[in-house]
Chain A
Amino acid sequence: MSGNAASILFALEKVTKTYGSITALDELSVCVPPGAIGLLGPNGSGKTTMIRTLLGLIPINGGSARVLDMDVHRRQLDIRRLIGFVPEDECLFPGVTGVEFVAYAGELVGMPSRDAMQRAHEVLDYVGLTEVRYRLVESYSAGMKQRLKLAAAIIHDPKLLILDEPTNGMDPAGRKDMLALAHDLAHHKNMSVLFSSHLLPDVEAVCDHIIVLGAGQLLVQGNIRELKAVHPGSFEVRLKEDGTSFSQQLTDLGCAVQRRGDMLLIQIPSGAAPAMLWQAAAANQQQIRHLRSQRSTLEEVFLNAVERTSCRL
């Protein structure tokens, strides 16, 4: 495993983890830079096992892993001091108020009691739970509990924040707030975020970088902007009227034309110029209302990656 430690958030090298006959991680190798990282993958793809590995909670069967330049075998506790984790499930410390909950979370990491209490008030302000901080946590709504867990995870100002399905069960307003907080932490507060979610728009709203897992292997990894790169020679076109004759002409000229809703996806032959689209429109007395180079959506990136794995298996 090589590379500049400062530029690597975590790195797994040929990590294998099995549960009996089930292989959760299959020689997974991934090297991730600091920043906002989305962790994607279908159910059973190994996302949770990967998070457990990063937290040093499970022994791995093979390979090596380093988080924040520390070996997960040897320095699990040190790693967890620098990580904040928001679990997916509803989980609470029972019988405490919101501010006690967060302060206790800080004390468990090793913060002095007084600092933890002071800091608990600050982070509760930040996540928007100021008004309810003296209420028993059992009385919180689902959205409040998620924000409370986020406050508990960031109380010690971690270098890496792991969010496991943080918007599950939240109403649209709560979801928007949670995404805004995650985005703010990742982009303005100098905190790396690993955001595991099934909801691609959520990942897209927060992250710059994604990792897609499938069957315990790395399917796709990269910067979202780069993965959603422009497809050369491929265009999205919307006409004012029905474009049957327009489509027919382009097909005759060797273009691949596909209708998607009111949009036409047109792949022009290699070497041809986009001007042929204007010429075909003029010839068919059509008015082009929308024309732009085609980009992949994150959903397409994800589905293509998963389909490739399915074909391989």
Chain B
Amino acid sequence: MPIIDQGYQHWSGRLTGHRWRWLAITHHGVKIAMRSYFLRYVLLAAWVPALVLVTTLSAWGLLERKSKMARTFIQFMQFMNPGVVADPRHYCGAVWRLAYGYFFHVELFFAMLVILIVGPGLISRDLRVNALPLYFSRPLRRVDYFLGKLGVVVTFLGMVLIVPAVIAYILGLLFSVDISAVRDTFGLLLGAIAYGLLISVSAGMLILALSSLCRNSRYVALLWLGLWFVSSVVSSVLTAVHHQQQRYVYHPPPPSSELMTRQGAEPLTMNHAVASTAKKSDVPVSRNWRALLSYTANLSRVGTKLLGTNAAWKQISLLEPTASGRHRLLVRFGGPWYPWYWSAVVLAGLLGLSLCVLKLSIRTLDRLK
């Protein structure tokens, strides 16, 4: 027998246990997804907001240290209340929270985009090429399969949401003036990680459920786009209509020439209408349920709670000399103000629905003919 044709050889290696078997699916899924140039570009772009976050936190650290370099940054902070810049150490926690709030606001878009690229084919492609018998005839349970596929989404969203947030936190601390900053901001780190995980798990389960409904990844991508964009648009339109109605109830339409100058020199904006509604309406703005129709708005609402951005705005609003000024600032920059647990319930409901869909649509035995 030639040496190149030795035939079958026995393998005497050792197999690993069942507990981490799902990691093989995650590892494989990440490897396959990373072959997409488009995904790599999106991941790269998703790190730009992280650079901005790191820069902001570092600049604030320099400001706390009263470094000369901080003067350069101060000119970029003219939009802030001078009282905040004057006492950077006192407002360190609030500024960090707001910085993280804006960071996640932008990253949420990238997260949805990454899911749009990675998610649709996760299960639908397996269904199309009938891969399930290959999985389930091996020592895998359904939960391992789902965990493995979810792991792919969580890995990529972790790269977009959690890893940059943690790195920014560490770098921010390095630039900070003293170790007490850890005490003020450690809760924020936990909140950021929790928010990142919330987005990853919630959106991951949702895209898996959608992916299990259809064998064509393109249709799944369309479903995801619908969930993301259409729900946001519908929610925004309904909210705008609601605000408009409130505005007409409490502010009868003035002559068109007065519209732009009604409140002094400032133009009449939607936020003014909301602010005045909040003060006068029997139905307070905090009971406005319309934002619940948007999937991303629900994630954002829970995010504001986890990151504490509304509390940060409240702290900063105290610098405003008048009550109406404080109120205006909160309405303009803070919010949404409806109870966060409403959104949590909506997200929990979607999670439950996703689990039901996955349980019903992925049955091991029906696929094994």
Contact = CB atoms under 8 A, between A and B. Distances in A.
A233 interface: no
Given A58-B365, A91-B130, A115-B13, A108 B32 contact: no
B8 A91 contact: no
B368 A52 contact: yes
A122 interface: yes
Given A77-B18, A95-B125, A109-B139, A90 B130 contact: yes
B139 A81 contact: yes
Interface stretch (B21-29, B40-48, B164-172, B193-201): B21-29
A184 B8 contact: yes
Contacts, number: 116
Nearest to B35: A95
Interface string A146-158: 0001001011110
A303 interface: no
Nearest to A49: B365
Contact of B129 (A52, A58, A94, A111): A94
Contact of A48 (B7, B18, B138, B369): B369
Interface in A181-197: 184-185, 189-190
Chain B interface residue count: which class?
Answer: 35 or more
B17 A110 contact: yes
Query: A48, A78, A95, A119: which has the most chain B beta carbons within 10 Å?
Result: A95
Contact of B32 (A58, A95, A111): A95
A78 B17 CA distance: 10
Contact of A107 (B18, B24, B132): B24
Interface residues of A, number: 47
Nearest to B13: A115
Q: DSSP class of B's interface residues: helix, strand, loop or mixed?
A: loop
B134 A105 contact: yes
B131 A91 contact: yes
A112 interface: yes
B134 A87 contact: yes
Interface string A167-205: 000000000000000001100011000000000000000
Nearest to B136: A57
A111 B130 contact: no
B16 A112 contact: yes
A77 B140 CA distance: 7
A2 B92 CA distance: 75
B352 interface: no
B137 interface: yes
B8 A110 contact: no
Interface in A80-105: 80-81, 83, 85, 87-96, 104-105
Contacts of B24: 104, 107-108
B7 A87 contact: no
B78 interface: no
A109 B17 CA distance: 9
A111 B13 contact: yes
B11 interface: yes
Interface of A: 48, 52, 55, 57-58, 76-78, 80-81, 83, 85, 87-96, 104-105, 107-113, 115, 119, 122-123, 126, 138, 149, 152, 154-157, 184-185, 189-190
Interface of B: 7-13, 15-18, 21, 24-25, 27-28, 32, 121, 125-126, 128-141, 364-365, 368-369
Given A57-B364, A92-B129, A115-B11, 14 more contacts: A76-B139, A77-B141, A85-B137, A87-B134, A91-B133, A93-B129, A93-B134, A95-B32, A107-B27, A108-B138, A113-B27, A126-B8, A184-B7, A189-B7
17 contacts: A57-B136, A57-B137, A77-B18, A90-B129, A91-B133, A93-B126, A93-B131, A94-B125, A94-B129, A95-B32, A104-B28, A110-B18, A119-B11, A122-B9, A157-B10, A157-B12, A185-B8
